[in-house]
With several copies, the nearest count.
Chain A
Amino acid sequence: MTPSSVARILRKLSRENAFYFFTSIGNYIGENAVSLEEFAKKIGEVNTKSLEFHFYRGDFEKWVAEVLEDGELAEEIKRLKNLKPVRDALRSQLHLIVSKRFERLRKEFLG
């Protein structure tokens, strides 16, 4: 990956582009993520109902692909669906994937 595309994935987003956590249609819990780093952190914190809602709607992979522009991470999240994880299993696996990716990119960025 080029340094500039890594920097792009790690950037801080505008309010409009943040990820907003809901628990069901129209029910926003007040938590959002404005960067990949914060996204990883919030996955560890928000309730699992919210994680299940977005995961099975495909919201996470869509946001990661279209807003963060990290196609690789989007693919990994999508593949996780095959395991059909729920509740804490979903949280830990999603958290692992996203935080690992963040750490790798950060190291790459710092050189």
Chain B
Amino acid sequence: MKLKKQAVSLDSLDWKILQALQENSKQTYTEIGRRFGVAHSTVYDRIKKMEENDVIKKYTTVVDLEKVGVKNITAIMTVFTDPKESENVAKRLSEASEVLEVSTSLSEELSIIAKVVAKDQDKLHSFIALGVAPLPGVLRIRTSIITRKYKEKELLIKRK
């Protein structure tokens, strides 16, 4: 049985803590408590609760892969499919390690948008020609190779 998604309700201290953790996940409970004028045990309780109900999904580290010489190319691939096969194609794409993001989208036409990484243009093309075009229901594919990134960030949490 699938659990019904119900919005967890957060108060203003929860929002402030989330925002602080998004800025820097390594801050201690004491540091966060001091910043908002509450006890570290309060901060601890709030965070534990948000971890338990999965509001907090993960603590992670943002790494500059270019700095360490990893020179992947990134492409945005738009896949037009037979509407009946759209979900299957999206699922198959999601299984590939080359594919970081997959969404279905609606514009004038239904399509699947996916972010793909590869070592170079040849590897990118092979992946699409051998791994995507042959999927049942794929009608056309349009691919744009990213030439320069100007901005890349997650949605910042705003205090409520």
B-binding residues in A (CB < 8 A): 15-16, 18, 20, 22-30, 32
B143 touches A25 (CB 8 A): yes
Interface of A is mostly: strand
- B contact residues around A20 at 8 Å (CB): 129, 133-134
A-facing residues in B92-151 (Cβ within 8 Å): 107-108, 121, 124-125, 128-130, 132-134, 136, 138-143, 145
Residue among B108, B133, B139, B140 with most chain A CB within 10 A? B133
B134 touches A26 (CB 8 A): no
Known: A29-B140, A30-B139. A23 touches B108 (CB 8 A): yes
How many chain B residues have a CB neighbour from A under 8 Å? 22
B50 at the interface (CB under 8 A from A): no
B90 at the interface (CB under 8 A from A): no
Minimum CB–CB distance from B29 to chain A (whole Å) comes to 43
Bound form: Cα–Cα A24–B132 in Å: 15
B145 touches A26 (CB 8 A): yes
B136 touches A26 (CB 8 A): no
A-binding residues in B (CB < 8 A): 75, 77, 80, 107-108, 121, 124-125, 128-130, 132-134, 136, 138-143, 145
Minimum CB–CB distance from B26 to chain A (whole Å) comes to 38
Interface of B is mostly: mixed
Minimum CB–CB distance from B9 to chain A (whole Å) comes to 30
Chosen A-B contacts, 15 in total, with CB atoms closer than 8 Å, are A15-B134, A15-B136, A20-B133, A20-B134, A25-B128, A25-B143, A25-B145, A26-B128, A26-B145, A27-B107, A28-B133, A28-B138, A30-B80, A30-B139, A30-B140
Minimum CB–CB distance from A35 to chain B (whole Å) comes to 15
Bound form: Cα–Cα A18–B135 in Å: 11
- B contact residues around A32 at 8 Å (CB): 133
- A contact residues around B134 at 8 Å (CB): 15-16, 18, 20
Bound form: Cα–Cα A33–B67 in Å: 43
- B contact residues around A16 at 8 Å (CB): 130, 134
- B contact residues around A27 at 8 Å (CB): 107-108, 141-143
- A contact residues around B136 at 8 Å (CB): 15
A22 touches B108 (CB 8 A): no
Minimum CB–CB distance from A15 to chain B (whole Å) comes to 5
Within 8 Å by CB of A24, from B77, B107, B133, lies: B107
B108 touches A28 (CB 8 A): no
